[in-house]
Amino acid sequence: MRRFAFAVLFLALLAGCGSSPEGQDNQTGTDIIIGYDTTQDTAGDPDIPGTDTIGEDTVVGDNATGDTTEITRVINLQVNTDEPIQVAVDQKFTFRAQVVDTQGTPVANPAVSFTITYVEDPTAAGEEVLEYDSMILRPSAVGDAEGKVSTTFQAGKDLFLYTITVSCKGAESREFQILVAELDCGCTNVSMTYEGVPGDGASYRVLAFDSSVTCDSVINSTDLPMAAAEIIHGSIEEPAVIPCLTPGSTYTVLVAAAETCAFAKGCTEGLTVGAANDPENCASGTVALEGIDVSIGAVYNSSKNKLTFNSVIPACTFGPTMNCTDLGSKSIGEQGCCYLNQVQLLFADDGTAFASVLADTAGLEGATRTSAVTAVENWVAGNTPAWVDKAAGMGSFVRNVMAQTNLESIITINAPDQDGKFTGKTDWRRYVLFWKLDCDPADPDYFQCGKVFVSMTGMGGIAYAPDITDSSFTGSLGVANNFSIDTHTVDFNPGRMLVYTVNKLAAQTLTGGYINASNELITVGAAVDLKDAYMRWIDCAAISAELASIAPAVTEEVCASAIDAAMANVNAAADAILVPSHLELAGTGSYTDSSCDGIADELGSGVYTGSWVRGTQTAEMTGNFSGIDD
């Protein structure tokens, strides 16, 4: 196990006090050095609540009020104050300080200002210069809980000597000097490797030290020496360029990677530098990053899952010629298409099919049969509501609901053992389905249209309810922040989802049900299921009354039996797709500590691979998952 032992230690390392006379800075005012300086460059902005004006202490934990002249604090500059620090033209220099009390105890969250108080031209006997092009990018900042704070000096092209004054209420101001000079610069490209999965917001702080500094002395240090250069880099895919190091020298390079919190670090010695003043031909080196130890055991109660069955039930070619004989011998996908096709054919009837079934059920013959069939056809033609046409074309919409089934769950991963093995379970909570039948693709809100929540406990106990019980699994930690979940059983029956969608989503929304603004399906006054919807169209009371004088044998009871007969193909196809089945899923993913407490609170990049298993048949499917510990 290497998951937690270094967490606190590395956070302290990142809170160190390097500087960057010739490097680059992120210019955002947010240090990647965790627990060091997280102040944004908003000092003194009256429109941003909580921002500091220069020299005012407003942060909780900073008790100096400025109402007394007593010296209660000391500013420790973490730069060389014996002689001017040379910074190359157009380069940046990040410098750091720490505020402590007179006993040496760090002062939490001090408000510190950084000011250029004097500028002189060294070639003109120290004559003061009033116009200059260098600047301090962040003239004030609030330190962290350890009193540490940083800012960046941006050198211009003027070769002047700058006096920098660092001030804090209750402390004597401190000064040091920066000389902007024309220096020979050699560049180096630093590539990074990492076996984990960095987040999209990851950034990388690259510090170059003199070759006398060893990796052993800085990799776990809480007090870093002065850096020769320091840059922030935004992507592990491209090398980080250190633009200005001394040609002919070698350097030790430390890289710290972080998103909200640090997640990896690495160091290498003997990094070389390219030729002087030749930015097109940099030297190169590589730093291998190792993951920071983080514990993964937690309850991820905001977990999202998507199970994809696009390849299981392909886009169906619906129509009366679809071959749906001998359903039991067909593949899972063919059976799904046949079921949806039979549903469409049921509602595509112009009355002819049902009239014939009704006549057969009533035992009508001869002229009576002919008259009754004609009367039923005419009745259907005059009494078909608009929603029936939609039902006759809803197959692809139903298929799409199942093709990408979205679920919310609670994923529990128990603390791994010393070998990195863990157990866990998924508590499946509800479906998040998208019923797009009446949605307009041109609507700006199309992607939210038809979104409906279906709770596992709110399906009414019907036989084809696709509810899922808890799924137990085992797994193991991988390299860096990766993990894997072993193949395990999930008792999700996709066939049930298909039949449920037809009966409890399609049939109900077609007959007056609707999805409200809270993504709930409101079913007051709507059909109970597909058969009820069909019976609302094929009104047996009205039809038997219509035929009372023509074919008195057609009673309401006979008509109801005819409806069962008309739906026989639908029911047979449903029975075929509803046979017991389940999923066999394995997974891989990564985990992230976003609260900097050494415990992973986010699961990401989760990928499911597996099969829909039904008897001896299997069909490959995929999915993805994520989770957040709220």
**CATH number of residue 83's parent domain:** 2.60.40.10
Mean pLDDT value of segment 242-269: 91
Range with lowest mean pLDDT among 147-151, 360-364, 501-505: 147-151
Mean pLDDT value of segment 40-53: 36
Same domain assignment for residues 163 and 197: no
pLDDT (tens digit per residue) in 85-126:
999 999 888 888 999 999 999 999 999 999 999 999 999 988
In the structure encoding, which two tokens stand for residue 266, read together?
């690495």
- Report the DSSP pairing between strands 283-291 and 298-308: unpaired
In the structure encoding, which two tokens stand for residue 590, read together?
């990564």
* Domain edge (last residue) among 540, 558, 577: 577
Nearest to 18 by CA among 262, 220, 225: 225
pLDDT in the model for residue 6: 33
Residue type, 607: V
State how far the Cα of 230 lies from the Cα of 246, in Å rounded to an integer: 14
Are 94 and 230 spatial neighbours (Cβ–Cβ below 8 Å)? yes
Nearest to 475 by CA among 587, 612, 598: 587
Beta-strand ranges (E) seen in 539-599 are 582-592
CB atoms within 10 A of CB 437: 20
Residue 138 lies in a domain: yes
Decide if pLDDT at 76 tops 70.
yes
In the structure encoding, which two tokens stand for residue 65, read together?
């009020």
Same domain assignment for residues 136 and 274: no
pLDDT in the model for residue 587: 97
Residue 594 lies in a domain: no
- CA separation, residue 451 to residues 17, 464, 516 (Å): 51, 21, 9
* Domain edge (last residue) among 181, 198, 223: 181
State how far the Cα of 373 lies from the Cα of 158, in Å rounded to an integer: 100
CB atoms within 10 A of CB 266: 20
State how far the Cα of 610 lies from the Cα of 624, in Å rounded to an integer: 11
pLDDT (tens digit per residue) in 174-199:
999 999 999 999 999 999 999 888 87
pLDDT (tens digit per residue) in 410-466:
999 999 999 999 999 999 999 999 999 999 999 999 999 999 999 999 887 899 999
* Domain edge (last residue) among 293, 319, 337: 293
If DSSP codes are grouped into helix, strand and coil, which group holds residue 332? helix
Same domain assignment for residues 246 and 380: no
Are 184 and 246 spatial neighbours (Cβ–Cβ below 8 Å)? yes
Same domain assignment for residues 161 and 239: no
pLDDT in the model for residue 540: 97
Which H or E run includes 434? strand 421-434
- CB contact set of 444 (below 8 Å; sequence gap of 6+): none
State how far the Cα of 323 lies from the Cα of 75, in Å rounded to an integer: 85
Same domain assignment for residues 135 and 46: yes
Apex CA 133: angle with CA 128 and CA 137, to 5°? 115
Of the two residues 338 and 221, the one the predictor is more confident about is 338
In the structure encoding, which two tokens stand for residue 134, read together?
């260098």
Residue 217 lies in a domain: yes
Same domain assignment for residues 213 and 279: yes
Helix 395-403 vs helix 332-348: crossing angle, to nearest 10:
150
Confidence grade of residue 69 (pLDDT, cut at 50, 70, 90) = low
Of the two residues 25 and 200, the one the predictor is more confident about is 200
Same domain assignment for residues 131 and 244: no
* Residue 268: CA count within 13 A, CB half-sphere: 17
In the structure encoding, which two tokens stand for residue 423, read together?
């157990």
Are 278 and 247 spatial neighbours (Cβ–Cβ below 8 Å)? no
Residue 126 lies in a domain: yes
Decide if pLDDT at 313 tops 90.
no
Same domain assignment for residues 74 and 175: yes
Give 101's strand partners.
Answer: 73
Residue 77 lies in a domain: yes
Are 54 and 110 spatial neighbours (Cβ–Cβ below 8 Å)? no
In the structure encoding, which two tokens stand for residue 307, read together?
């199970």
Of the two residues 343 and 146, the one the predictor is more confident about is 343
- Report the DSSP pairing between strands 85-88 and 174-181: parallel
Domains held by the chain: number = 3
CB atoms within 10 A of CB 400: 18
| Percent over 90 (pLDDT), the chain | 73
Decide if pLDDT at 37 tops 80.
no
Residue type, 466: P
Same domain assignment for residues 30 and 176: yes
Same domain assignment for residues 108 and 48: yes
Confidence grade of residue 80 (pLDDT, cut at 50, 70, 90) = confident
In the structure encoding, which two tokens stand for residue 204, read together?
């990388």
> pTM for the full model?
0.68
Range of the domain at 347: 327-400+532-577
Are 213 and 226 spatial neighbours (Cβ–Cβ below 8 Å)? no
pLDDT (tens digit per residue) in 539-592:
999 999 999 999 999 999 999 999 999 999 999 999 999 999 999 999 999 998
Residue 610 lies in a domain: no
Residue 374 lies in a domain: yes
Same domain assignment for residues 191 and 176: no
Same domain assignment for residues 170 and 204: no
- What are the backbone dihedrals phi and psi of residue 115, each rounded to the nearest 5 degrees, phi first? -135, 135
Residue 231 lies in a domain: yes
Q: How confident is the prediction for the chain on average, in pLDDT?
A: 87
In the structure encoding, which two tokens stand for residue 528, read together?
């109970």
